[in-house]
A and B are shown apart, each in its own frame.
Chain A
């Protein structure tokens, strides 16, 4: 059922046509000429649509941009094969029938935060089920077979009544493309929190379906500081009195891109959803936010919000923002805001006039910008991010 709704929602997407229309809009506008650039545009728009549609479009011969895109991807999908063997794996509180490929291969990865707990390696698929009233705090690493160029990872999460799950996922895929899909179902009164971190140089395609029943809570923190590219699509159904908070800090710099496509679909009364994404684009990095809140006729008293802010630090970077609202009932509270800009020149001057050198002043302002979202993220990652910023590992000018 979920799938058909997604299809319904996405089928009407106009991204392709919009692109077409713009092309003819004005000849003075330099349109992407190089293949690389077409790639970027395609990536940006393609993720709005399910695979089937992309395939359909190929037959229609109508979307040359899509075609290019699809060729590249289909070459890669051919390389996918199933991982051979799964080891059943039991973690304390998981009332589980968890099939995960447990791989203790040492990964060149050392970081305080992500080594707090023993981690579970995931290279193919896993089901996590948290039994009624139980609590689980788990960390997962997506680990890839070194020979592969493409890896599908599928994770199914079922949080039962009044159960709680906190999951930290990071993806290690310097060589290959990781195609990670997470299906989450949170039952009445349960809560689920996922913190995902795209590791450096990783190439990620993510596709998540979230189903929140009555009074369920969901938090998702997306962190992408150094991934090569990350394209993530989240489709979420919000039940009655359920609340969802999706936040992200995205720092694409040269050669990197991050695209978030999020649909928060309110299907019952009095749900809440917040989409709050902050990006800092540098070099020729690309940040794109395409959020949508859909409030159906059956969802009065919904409170749906979106906030997308972006900071542009360089001449060559690009930022796209599409915070969308689709509302079919009058008794709702919906808001969205978006702002894009460079560092505040007045503030820069003020700091410099107090004797702070330019780079330091810039760093301070970037930190200030990032802080607005960091303080909104899960407690456990806040200090970790702040320390990385302090060490200038991320958020560099």
Chain B
């Protein structure tokens, strides 16, 4: 359902990704690991269509369609979701209003009728139970004044609400305590289904204890230098990234 081949990309004329191949089938969970600066977040942002990330070569195919020329919102409406490493705070914009607007935009793209405020609240509150979020966070400004854990829970809540086909989690585990980590992974596990795929970008293996990936790729200097299964993640945790260079 999602594949990139020979992907080369640069940021500010600096080459970051140098030929990446990934093929994600429906229902699969792929983990992308690698040291800092290896290009993990670049890959995530590129797939989501962030400005300033230039695709030099290769293609990004999602459900048979090359999405590399699409606007970010068009990709989102196709069902690509990016859980940000650093979600921005937008003061003044009510979290609930934002969620409802996003939900209806995505629903419309799926050919579904928009939900009115009452239905949307009911739907969102239902999803909130899964991430154990305090309901007053809905009435606050989007991510403004949220703690690190609250922001990440909010990202997972958005994922639960928008029900994407492909969810990319960019370092979602960074800065989380063990309880929050559990909540985040519960949310992801709840979402796992035969027609939904995940790409989990992470530096550490601990999130993968909770969300067992089908494949693990190691990204270094803009290339995937090793692929394997969950065992590979365990080995990386034990021995670090050094042995891969030999």
Direct contact of A and B (CB under 8 A): no
Which B residues are within 8 Å of any A CB, using their own CB? none
Which A residues are within 8 Å of any B CB, using their own CB? none
